[in-house]
Structures are given as C-alpha cells and as structure tokens.
C-alpha cells in the first residue's frame, strides 16, 4: 500500500484563485452579459517586447540548424545570461556577485518553493502576514509545520502581522526564527522597506544565525529613489541572505518562464555538530540533481531584456502599468479608502468596509470588477483587498469609475 505524504492533509482545501474562479463562474452563469473587469490575479497583460521576441526567434532558428543546435544546457543557466544579470542588476548598484552565485531557473515560484529543501525540518520559519502563499504551503508540504489553528495559522511558523497599525511593515520576530521570508516590493501589500528597515533584518539574521529568503520578484517596479532593489545593498547580507528574482513581471515572462536566484558563497548553514556548510554548494547540488535548466530560447530571450532596446521597451511597459497603479491609488483615495502600495509595486492594497470576501462579492455583483480578498493571503489580510495594475488603461479607468459610483457604503 502506497502511503501518502500526510502533510498534504494540513493544507487548506481550496486554493485562493480557484475559489475566486468558482465564484466568477457562478456569477457568470446568472449574468452572462456582465462586462467583467479582472484585477485579481497578478498576471501581466501586455505582450513580450519586440527585442525579446526578436532574440527568441533567433534562438529558435539556431535550434533548427545542426551547427547551432543546443541540447541540455548547464542546469544553473547559461553563462551569457548570468553575466548580463550581474552586469545589469548588481554591478551598477555596487553589489559584487560571482557568476557561480547566479542560478537561472524556470520561475521564482519554483525557486521559492524548492529552496526550503536545503533546511532541516526543525527550523522555525517566519513569514509576514499577509503573505505570498507559496512560502507557507511549500513548508507545510515538507513537514516543517505542525497543526493548523482556527485562523489557518500553523504551528512552528512565526507570523509577522502587517496591518494599518504598523503601516504594513513587519516587526522583528519576538520568538526565535531560523528561516525568514521577506518579499519587497511586497505581494500583496505593494509596500517596500527602506534601507534602514532592511538593515535591522540583516542584523537579526546575523545575530541569530538565521537566513533571509528575500523575494524581489517586483524589484523592477520600484520608482522612488532610495528604495533598496536588492537585499545585497545592505552590508553583511551576503552572509545571511539569498535573493529570488523573476523575469515574469519585469518583462512579461509569466507564460515564458524564466527567473534566477542569487546564492552567495558566504551564506552558511549548520549541521547538528555546529559545522558550517555552504548553501551555494547545496543549491547547486539540488539543482543539478532535480532541474535540467531553462530552455535555450527562453534564456536567449531573457538576455535580450538587458539589451539597450530591451531595457527601453520594458521600461515603457512598466511605466504603463505604474500609471495604472497611480490611477487606482488616486481613485480609491478620492473614494475614501485607506490605500497602501501602488507606488513601487503593481499592487494596491486597501482597507475594506466589509469582511474581504463580502467585499469581493459586492464588487463582483455590483461593479463587475474582480479583485483579491485580503483574507486569502493570511489572517491579518482580513478587512483588506488587493487590486492589480496589470490591465489596459481603459479597463483600469472603467473599474475605478464603477467602484466610485456603485460601491456606496
């Protein structure tokens, strides 16, 4: 008899976006003509830019000729892409990154979910609440968490509540934490941490021999000066942090799939005897065993993100989304909502006058606008709601207009 991994039984039954899809489909059955505007799921809407498409076409052509055909590539990614990543994302910020510290992959979702494998099951993790659910669920699957309480919170996880009271910024853990997940710019709140704030986290990790798993998937959306783009801007972070990046939102690669993780050689984890081991070596071992690399055409396309025309075209797209974000922010504020985010991130997070799923239903039924209920991201997300800037200008303006006129409390 094949026995199951019973940790899966601890997971909540319905994934947030399936529940949203179920409610939409029920509503559409009764209202087939409703003109629904979707601002829920965080997926881009604009196509890949021409520079990326051109590079991808060229790479596909190379694959069609025996002389230029490529089979398996290096599991950790082609050097041509890793070099471009370092030259563009780190060197200009004065961050030294070695070529063998960059691991190219097929997504930050898989990287953030897989990375926990390198840690013992007795580690305590800390996550912000609300949080991108992948960090929690992947640790539950691995068996690092205990039972779940009525609020949906797991034993052995320290939840760092982010609410209006603390300006959506987590406080340092009050009890021991070994693996700390931070995501900035944040999904779902759209908020960022300043350098001074990040320094406290790096100091905590150094003092407690903890590791920060830093998800910077939305780094490209930072508009304000002085906001850190990488945890490695903080002195000492190379010894205690790993950083996840993605081409998904930066360059519209959600359906194309490419991301990377930086694992400095200075980061160490310890065995039960207290001996230090290199996390970089462990991740290399893990990736070379379980992953066979992102495809060549995709990596060639990702490299074009860093070409002169690629950078310019991508900035135009990001600017377009961020103008949407500004429209949403201003519209919600003028309608009297307390709003967070949307300045350095494509997410706008706001307080709702109803519990978040009730607000979801009312928004769908009366304004035909879909968003994401904050409660889906954790207990502290109750009473909040997320809208995304990934849409057309027309839809964004329409949605805000409808919210102003139809969502009267």
Question: Which residues of the chain form contacts with ligand PLP (CB under 6 A)?
Answer: 42, 107-109, 112, 132, 183, 187, 215, 217, 246, 248, 254, 259
Complex with ligand PLP: residue 39 or 403, whichever CB lies closer: 39
Strands 125-129 and 102-105: unpaired
Complex with ligand PLP: residue 128 or 280, whichever CB lies closer: 128
* Contacts (Cβ under 8 Å, ≥6 apart) of 146: 154, 155, 156
Q: How far is the CB of 126 from ligand PLP (least distance, A)?
A: 16
Q: How far is the CB of 107 from ligand PLP (least distance, A)?
A: 3
Residues in the chain: 409
CA distances to 1, 60, 346 from 306, rounded to whole Å, are 52, 19, 21
Q: Angle at CA 360, nearest 5°, toward 161 and 185?
A: 40
* Dihedral sign from CA coordinates of 305, 311, 316, 321: positive
Phi, psi of 154 (to 5 degrees): -95, 145
Complex with ligand PLP: residue 114 or 407, whichever CB lies closer: 114
Q: Cα–chain-centroid distance for residue 55?
A: 26
Cβ contact 206:304 at 8 Å: no
Q: How far is the CB of 248 from ligand PLP (least distance, A)?
A: 3
Q: How far is the CB of 376 from ligand PLP (least distance, A)?
A: 13
Strands annotated E in 89-178? 102-105, 125-129, 157-161
Complex with ligand PLP: residue 297 or 331, whichever CB lies closer: 297
Complex with ligand PLP: residue 348 or 407, whichever CB lies closer: 348
The CB-nearest residue to ligand PLP is 107
Greatest alpha-carbon pair distance for the chain in Å reads 67
Question: Is 100 strand, coil or helix?
Answer: helix
Q: How far is the CB of 277 from ligand PLP (least distance, A)?
A: 26
Q: How far is the CB of 284 from ligand PLP (least distance, A)?
A: 20
Rounded to whole angstroms, the Cα distance separating 92 from 108 reads: 23
Q: Cα–chain-centroid distance for residue 4?
A: 29
Complex with ligand PLP: residue 208 or 254, whichever CB lies closer: 254
Q: Which residues pair with 57 in a beta bridge?
A: none
Q: How far is the CB of 68 from ligand PLP (least distance, A)?
A: 28
Rounded to whole angstroms, the Cα distance separating 261 from 85 reads: 11
Strands 37-38 and 369-370: parallel
What six digits make up the tokens of 61? 């052509």
Complex with ligand PLP: residue 169 or 209, whichever CB lies closer: 169
* Contacts (Cβ under 8 Å, ≥6 apart) of 83: 99
Complex with ligand PLP: residue 251 or 407, whichever CB lies closer: 251
What six digits make up the tokens of 318? 């990001």
Q: How far is the CB of 246 from ligand PLP (least distance, A)?
A: 3
Complex with ligand PLP: residue 162 or 183, whichever CB lies closer: 183
Please give the span between the terminal C-alpha atoms of the chain, in angstroms, as a whole number.
57
Complex with ligand PLP: residue 337 or 347, whichever CB lies closer: 347
């Amino acid at each position: 008899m094949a026995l199951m991994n019973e940790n899966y039984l601890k997971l909540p039954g319905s994934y947030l976006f399936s529940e949203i899809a179920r409610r939409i489909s029920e509503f559409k059955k009764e209202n087939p003509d409703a003109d629904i505007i979707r601002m829920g799921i965080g997926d881009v809407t604009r196509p890949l830019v021409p520079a990326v498409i051109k590079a991808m076409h060229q790479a596909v052509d190379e694959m069609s000729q025996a002389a230029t055909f490529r089979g398996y590539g290096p599991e950790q990614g082609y050097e041509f892409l890793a070099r471009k990543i370092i030259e563009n994302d780190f060197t200009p910020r004065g961050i030294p990154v070695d070529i063998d510290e960059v691991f190219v992959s097929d997504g930050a979702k898989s990287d953030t979910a897989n990375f926990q494998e390198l840690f013992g099951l007795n580690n305590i993790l800390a996550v912000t609440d609300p949080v991108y659910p992948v960090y929690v669920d992947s640790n539950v699957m691995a068996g690092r968490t205990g039972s779940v309480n009525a609020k949906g919170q797991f034993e052995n996880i320290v939840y760092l509540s982010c609410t209006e009271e603390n300006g959506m910024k987590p406080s340092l853990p009050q009890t021991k934490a070994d693996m700390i997940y931070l995501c900035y710019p944040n999904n779902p709140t759209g908020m960022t941490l300043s350098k001074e704030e990040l320094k406290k986290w790096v100091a905590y990790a150094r003092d407690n021999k903890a590791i920060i798993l830093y998800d910077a998937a939305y780094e490209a959306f930072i508009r304000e000066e002085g906001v850190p783009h990488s945890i490695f801007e903080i002195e000492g972070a190379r010894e205690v942090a790993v950083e996840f990046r993605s081409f998904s939102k930066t360059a519209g690669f959600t359906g194309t799939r490419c991301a990377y993780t930086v694992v400095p050689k200075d980061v160490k984890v310890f065995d039960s005897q207290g001996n230090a081991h290199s996390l970089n070596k462990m991740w290399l071992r893990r990736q070379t065993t379980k992953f066979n690399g992102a495809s060549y055409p995709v990596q060639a396309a990702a490299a074009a993100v860093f070409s002169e025309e690629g950078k310019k075209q991508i900035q135009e797209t990001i600017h377009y989304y961020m103008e949407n974000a500004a429209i949403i922010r201003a519209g919600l504020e003028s309608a009297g909502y307390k709003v967070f985010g949307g300045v350095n991130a494509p997410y706008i997070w706001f307080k709702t006058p109803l519990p978040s799923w009730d607000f979801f239903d009312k928004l769908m039924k009366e304004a035909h606008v879909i968003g994401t209920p904050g409660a889906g991201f954790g207990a502290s997300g109750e009473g909040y709601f997320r809208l995304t800037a990934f849409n057309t200008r027309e839809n964004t303006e329409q949605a805000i207009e409808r919210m102003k006129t139809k969502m009267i409390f």
